[in-house]
Structures are given as structure tokens and as C-alpha cells.
Amino acid sequence: MTNPPWNLRESYTYDRNVIAEIRRAANTGIYRIRGWGAKRELPTLDDLVVLGASMSRYPLEGYREACGTDVVIGEGRAEIPVRLDIPVTIAGMSFGSLSAQAKEALGRGASAVGTSTTSGDGGMTEEERGHSKTLVYQYLPSRYGMNPDDLRRADAIEIVVGQGAKPGGGGMLMGQKITERVAEMRTLPEGIDQRSACRHPDWTGPDDLEIKIIELREIVDHRVPIYVKVGAARPFYDTALAVKAGADAVVVDGMQGGTAATQDVFIEHVGIPTIAAIPEAVRALRELGVHRGEVKLIAAGGMRSGADVAKALALGADAVSIGTAALIAIGDNNPALEAEYNAVGSSAGYFEDFQTGNDPAGITTQDPELSARLDPEIGGRRLANYLRVLSIEAQTIARACGKSHVLNLEPEDLAALTVEAAAMAKVPLAGTTWIPGDGLGVLHRENS
Amino acid sequence: MSATKLDMSTASLRDVNSTLHAAKSGSFEIINPRGAHAIAAGITTDITVDVADSVGYYSAGMNQVGTVRIEGNAGTGLAENMMSGLVHITGSATMSAGASGHGGLLVIEGNAGARCGISMKGIDIVVGGNVGHMSAFMGQAGNLVVLGDADADLGDSLYEPNIFVRGDVASLGADCVEKELRAEHVETLTHLLGSSGMTASPSDFRRYGSARQLYNFHPDDIDAELAEEGLT
């Protein structure tokens, strides 16, 4: 029955998606594993609006007055700081989860607009190093493919404590994607269902992390900045501890952040939304006196538009990072491939089974035939265009607020559309001066 | 040629490591290390470094080609992610010695704490004494040789390393089983014991490895089973 009669009522609690999942679990006895990020409705940056200039402040002219977008990370702390032309970076995504062509496309696109890309769980490939002007090398719990030569070839090091899609969880890569090359890079048997470690093998807390950062700085002779990436769960404490451990940048990844594969229950139920994470991270940076100064904040998780970028910066981030949106830009979930998505039991706009390796777009796969479908040059151009749009849109908003640099955006430029967003973002509900919970927060802090 | 002396009562960690990183060859002696962290981390050339006393965390971390000898004990993460060369310590090492090491030989004459050889990826580790709990956890490749005893959950979630223990094993971790000690393993043991200067008979060791039961998920599929039987 494709169109149920009007007298039938679907349960809100047990809708068809819930029923399908219960049936799937009953059939297989295993949790659901998938890619993408949280799909359920969450508070987002869409719940905020920007307060453009009015009588009390004047806007800047779009075509005549400059509005800077550059960001520098590690200045005064690393011999060679990271210099980005735009405040949007490409998040860590591994070769293995992505095809070599996809990694190359990400590198090409990011480099074309003067921003960075990031390796992932599985080491550095020549494709991404060769095509990435600025490459951030992730230092992960699994240490797959980790070697000091690559560490020294990196423009920055990102110590990954967690990611937004699965704070507290390790990565996964199903056997279909553990090809000979991937297996060799990770020192794993070919075809196994890889479950990565969820915590680092040689440090377990902030005191250890401080010493780990000393070691990494020594190994690279203090040349490049060191980031610490956390999945958004307790961003105030995590950010404060990362700063105290010596991080030059803290990456806070909200629960809308994507993944190549993990348990659905993790993706949908662990962590907090990006809109709630940024202000808490900023609060920690402010309390330590390093906000918009020595230590930079990179916000990630569900960034889609220049409006998201501008709002994240206004909340206090110094840059944002994109993953899922970057994959879409290079061709993921392309409607032109609808028939092929149907053939693998999905549909354009819904495809999330990155773990299967049968991605018709040739992005989340290791299949040579599928991978060859993605032209890295075209993919790179698409990504560069998209990144330009994000940057220009953020500039447009910043100018409308009278700011000569996107980093001059501030919480005062924002209002919230919902009570929840106002409480999380710590900006007033639109049309009021009310920030829910602010008084309680002050009381809590005073008593703690 | 005598060793170049580096005195950490006057030289900073940065000074010491910069000197070691710049050296193409030669021998160095580090005195008064005073338990400093990351001593001799990131060596990339065929140099020899003798450290005259105990060291802190991550000593000889990510060592490539070089030889580092430590007269004393070491803190967490000794020779972590070592790639090649030799790291030899006369005393004991605390947690995570040789963690995620890709190659080379790590010799610990005393005991090693918890998670010795965790995530090992090809390194050879020889421990003269005992190892702590969860040693070789999630190990992927290489050899862990223990002349003493192993504490609980040895080799949990193991991939393809060989673990050789001469003494008692408190318990094996998930998917770790005892395996036959074949001629090629005796050969490996003979070589590693000889290289590390340890005296023991290879035949006294028992070998442990992965049962390979955790390599893949094993989902049920009741619907497919019923369909095959024509019951749907």
C-alpha cells in the first residue's frame, strides 16, 4: 500500500523507520552500522539569526570595503604557523574510508582557495600530500600508518581525542574496504572488519597529553602547530584541558559531524549539537585568556553554508571545518546517479551506507571501477567553488554587520529563534534581552 | 672516538634533541637526565645515545635507525611508535612500552608495566622480567617475548603478532589462544634472545596468538534462512 488510506494513523513512537530498525535488529542480531552523521532533527545554527546593521551601526559596502577572511594558527608558538586564506577547513577523512581520488579532490579544492585539508585514520597518502598545500596530519588512537616521516611532512598535527559522530568511540572500516593497499597501510589482515581503538595507547588523561604534546613538538623540532580535536560532549572542560596541555588549536566537533562508519546508536545519541558546543568551548578559552589570541577554536559538525560559517564565527570560533558538505560538493548523493543509488537499496539524498564500499559516486569506496568515476580535478574544482561560496557568504554577512574581518563577528550580532537555541548559544531570544539559564549558569559557576 | 657528552643539568631538552636530530652519525652520552620526558625522541640517523640514568615518558619515541641505551628505568610510552633501530633499557619500564611500534628491537631487562606492546605493528619487544595486564592489546604484528610472567588479559583483541611467554600467564584476553611453538618460532626466539643478550631456552616458551574469531562480524540472517527454505 504505497498511499495508505486516511483512516490509518502511523504511530509517532513507532513510525516506519523505527519498525524497520526493530525488524532489522531482530533479523541480524547486530547493531546498525552506517556512515553520515546524525539525521534526526537537532537544534542547529539555523535556529540563530544575524542582526544586520541598523541605526546603531553601519554596514560595509560589498564591492568597495575589505572584509578579511584569513586565519593564522600557531603564531608565536610554532616555527611555521598555519596560514589560511579562508576560515573554512576540510576535516579529517581517511584514505580507506574515502577513495584516493576523493582524497586528491579534497586536496585540490582546499589548496585552490588557500585552506587546509586533513588526513584521517589510516595514515597519509601521496595523493593527499601531493595535492594539499596545507595538510593537517591526524594523530589517532589507532596509530594506523603513523610514522614520523609523515609527521614531519605535515603542516600541522591534530591529536584526535574524539569526533562528533562518536565521542568516546573508535572508528570502523568494514572488510569490503580493507583492500590490499589499505591493509598494508594499516598493518592489518586484508578483508577484516576493522574496529579502531577508542583511546590512545600511551596516554589517558590531560596530564599525559601535555607530555605527549611535548614529545610531538620535539619530534618535529617545534616546527608546526598542534591541534587537539574532541567530540562535543563536555566542551568546556575538554577545551580547557586541551589548552592547559599546550594545544595551539582546539577542534570541537558537534554531533552533526559525519563519519565513514559507526554504530547508528552512537551517531544519533552520543554528544551534543554544534550550536551548544561552541559557546562552551569559547567560555573555556575566555576564562584562560586565550580566546581570539594564542589558541584558536575550530568548530565542526553540520556546517553547510556561509551563514553557518558566519554564525559559528560570531559565537566565537576562529574557523570551521567541513566534512559531509565537502563530500557532497565533490559528488556524494548526486541526483544524477539516482538509478544506481536505487540499485544498492538507497536513493540520492539518502545514501549513508559508506561502510559498504559500493558508493556509486566513487567517493566512499575502494572499488577501483567505482573510484575511477570520480575525476579528482573536476571534484577539486567543485569543492573550490563551494568553499569560495562559503567564504563569500560569510563575508556578506560580516559586512552587513559592519565588520571588516569575519573574525570581528561576535555573539552580539546574533539572536535566537527558539528558547532552546537561546539557552545553548547563550544569545538572546529574538526580540528580547532574555538568555535562558544565564543567571543559573552564573550561580553555578560562582558556587563551583 | 669518544662520545659527545650532553649534560641535562645545563642543557635543555630542546638543546639535547636538536643536537641528536642534527647528527648524521656518532655517539652521544646524556648525563643527568633527571627523569626528563621525550629524551632522544625522533632520532632519524644511525647514532648511538647512552643515557646515564632513568628517564620520563616517551623516551626514544618514534626512533628510526638509531640506538638508544638507558641505564635505569623509563616512564610511560618508552620507544612508542618506534620504527627501527634498537632501544635497550637496563631497568624497568612503566606503562605502554613499545606502544604501536612499527619495527626495530626494544629490550627491557627488568619488568614492563601494563599494556606493554599495545597496538604493536611490527616491533620486536623482549622483556627480561614480567609484563603487566593487557600487554599486546590490539597488537597487529611483531613479536613480544616475555621471560617472566604475564598479567591478566594478555593479547586481548589480537591480530597477527606472536607472543612468547616463559613464565605463567594470569589469563588470556578476548580472542587470544595458545598456539603451537613450531620450528620457525624457535628460530625467531633464538634470534631475538640472542639480539637482546638474554639467556633462555626457546623451548621453555609458550606461544600465544589470535584465534581470529573477532576479525569479522558474524550477523545472523533469519530472513535469508527462511527464504532459502521456502518459508517466506
Interface of B with A in 118-137 (CB under 8 A): 118-119, 121-122, 137
| Residue-wise pLDDT tens digits, B172-205 | 999 999 999 999 999 999 999 999 999 999 999 9
Average pLDDT over residues A243-256: 98
Q: How confident is the model at residue A448 (pLDDT cuts 50, 70, 90)?
A: very low
* pTM score of the predicted model: 0.96
Q: How far apart are CA A35 and CA A348, in angstroms?
A: 14
Residue A400's φ and ψ, nearest 5 degrees, are -65, -25
pLDDT score of A443: 47
Beta strands in A351-445 (DSSP E): 414-416
Beta strands in B159-225 (DSSP E): 162-165, 176-179, 206-210
- Ordered per-residue pLDDT tens for chain B, 232 residues: 689 999 999 999 999 999 999 999 999 999 999 999 999 999 999 999 999 999 999 999 999 999 999 999 999 999 999 999 999 999 999 999 999 999 999 999 999 999 999 999 999 999 999 999 999 999 999 999 999 999 999 999 999 999 999 999 999 999 999 999 999 999 999 999 999 999 999 999 999 999 999 999 999 999 999 999 998 7
Lowest mean pLDDT among A157-166, A311-320, A438-447: A438-447
User: Are A248 and B71 contacting, i.e. CB atoms less than 8 angstroms apart?
Assistant: no
Q: Distance between CA B57 and CA B34 in Å, rounded?
A: 12
pLDDT of the residue at A195: 87
Mutate to test the interface with B, among A140, A193, A215 (most CBs of B within 10 A): A215
User: What pLDDT score was predicted for residue A64?
Assistant: 83
Nearest-by-CA chain B residue for A198: B138
**Joined grid coordinates for residue A446:** 560562582
Does A438 lie at the interface with B, CB-CB under 8 angstroms?
A: no
**Contact across the interface for B121 and A221, Cβ inside 8 Å:** no
Residues of B in contact with A202 (CB under 8 A): 58, 76-77, 80, 95-96, 99-100, 118
For the stretch A140-152, what's the b/e string if a residue is b when 16 or more beta carbons lie within 10 angstroms of its beta carbon? Answer: bbbbbbbbbebbb
Exposed, middle or buried, B3 (CB in 10 Å: 0-12/13-18/19+)?
A: middle
B95 vs A: CB within 8 A: yes
Query: Distance between CA atoms of A254 and A274, rounded to whole angstroms?
Result: 4
Secondary structure (DSSP) of A73-116: ESTTTSSS-EEESSSEEEPB--BTTB-HHHHHHHHHHHHHTT-E
Contacts of B221 (CB under 8 A, 6+ apart): A27, A28
Asked if the C-beta of A29 comes within 8 angstroms of chain B's C-beta atoms, the answer is yes
Give B190's Cβ-side CA count (13 Å radius): 8
Cross-chain Cβ contact A218/B13 below 8 Å: yes
Smallest CA–CA distance from A23 into chain B, residue: B223
Helix (H, G, I), strand (E, B) or coil at A23: helix
What chain A residue is nearest to B79 in terms of C-alpha separation?
A: A202
B44 touches chain A (CB under 8 A): yes
Check: CB of residue A202 under 8 Å from CB of residue B80: yes
B15 touches chain A (CB under 8 A): no
Determine whether the interchain pair B56/A222 forms a contact, defined as Cβ–Cβ distance below 8 Å: no
Mutate to test the interface with A, among B12, B63, B138 (most CBs of A within 10 A): B138
pLDDT tens digit string along A340-361? 999 999 999 999 999 999 999 9
User: Is A220 near chain B, with CB under 8 Å?
Assistant: yes
**Environment class of residue A58 by beta-carbon count within 10 Å: exposed (0-12), middle (13-18) or buried (19+)?**
exposed
